[in-house]
Chains A and B, each alone.
Chain A
Amino acid sequence: MIVELLRASTSFVDSEPVVSVLDAIAAVLLLLAAFLTLAAAVGLIRFPDALSRLHAATKPQILGVILVVLALALSVRSWTVLLLLIPVVVFQLLTAPISAHMVGRAGYRTGDYEPETLTADELAPDVAAAGRSDLPGGGFGDEPDSAKGQQGGS
């Protein structure tokens, strides 16, 4: 059935008013994606430390790409293009959390954050318990493990 559909027409729709509406929706989606990217760039400039900047950076990586892929699908209206666009979104969904996780780990290990901006640091007791004095996070707040961490880390 899908093959017959593909043979019948490579385009979703042909009627003129629907086409103009789809183009308008695509234009709005493009502007949203561009605004999201600009907002992330402003966030990277204005936020104080690396982990805060990571928070701003991960927004256009998923939503911006999804918006632009939707805009492209609505603008071109071709099934073959849609088949090529789905892997773009799927690979972004798979890889963006991995890269954000790795960069966040590197930011924590290099101490590239301001401890007073954190509301919770759930890794600090584990770091202290492991006796890794070369990593940051020991002695955060009034946690019961901090004394053990100073003992083990010396």
Chain B
Amino acid sequence: MIDVVLYLAGGMLAAAALLLLYRVVVGPSLVDRIIASDVLLTTLIIVVGAEMAINEHTRTISLMVVLAVIGIFGSVSVARFVQRAPSTSASGGEAEL
């Protein structure tokens, strides 16, 4: 039974990661990339936890804790400095990403 869970959950998580990677690459806007990479990090937490639950070990549990703690920094620090795209921005002056 655990093999079925491994293949089903692993397949769904791999498909989700591929779709999120597509969204990170294609965009179209920077905010879309931030959201997709944030969900990709959450997917990584879920993958690490699911792998531990299926194989019944606890070696990578510190990785889960660290990812949950520092996962906020990437999206918040990038989102703080997002400006409008240069083509739609009427007034310059601030750094534009």
A-side interface residues toward B, CB under 8 Å? 23-24, 26-27, 30-31, 33-35, 37-38, 40-42, 44-45, 50, 53-54, 57, 60-61, 64-65, 68-69, 71-72, 74-76, 78, 81, 84-85, 87-89, 91-92, 95-96, 98-99, 102-103, 105-107, 109-112, 133-134
- A106/B82 contact (C-beta < 8 A), A44-B35, A72-B53, A91-B68 known: yes
Which 6 pairs between the two chains have the least Cβ-Cβ distance?
Answer: A95-B72, A41-B16, A41-B19, A34-B9, A68-B49, A34-B12
Closest to A93 in B: B68
Interface of A is mostly: helix
The size class of the interface chain B forms with chain A is: 35 or more
Q: For residues 62 through 79 of chain B, which have their beta carbon under 8 Å from a beta carbon of chain A?
A: 62, 64-65, 68-69, 71-72, 75-76, 79
Q: Are B5 and A65 in contact (CB under 8 A)?
A: no
Q: Are A75 and B16 in contact (CB under 8 A)?
A: no
- Per the bound structure, the CA–CA distance linking A89 and B31 in Å amounts to 25
Interface of B is mostly: helix
Q: Are B50 and A40 in contact (CB under 8 A)?
A: no
Q: Are B42 and A75 in contact (CB under 8 A)?
A: no
Q: Are A102 and B46 in contact (CB under 8 A)?
A: no
Contact of B53 among A26, A40, A54, A84 (CB under 8 A): A26
